[in-house]
Structure 1
């Protein structure tokens, strides 16, 4: 299974912002993408090919991050 989730870094720990269906002790691979960098990319390209709702851009960005 592969899934993109949002997390918040607090006091040295990554905390998921949504429930996870994981077994205790399960090992995961984590790819770090700073949300502000992603927002900058969206702002830079939004409207390049016409008007696109931000929600749709967010969906595409999350799908791309899963690749």
Structure 2
């Protein structure tokens, strides 16, 4: 499950709009905003958003923080 609160928190910390995340991640216009609204997105999209926010993708998945592989 995608941790929408964490994505928004990271965006706020980095003073980034959803459009700026889209641009930095190489996503289409509105992808991040739609993900934040619907909670739906592919793992590829999550990886791109994580890269744009300079975190590991696992940080954007609920219940997975701190778990070892």
Q: What TM-score results when the alignment is normalised by the length of structure 2?
A: 0.25
The structure whose Rg is larger is 1
Q: Return the structure number with greater relative CO, CA threshold 8 A, min gap 6.
A: 2
Between Structure 1 and Structure 2, the one with more helix by share is 2
Between Structure 1 and Structure 2, the one with more strand by share is 1
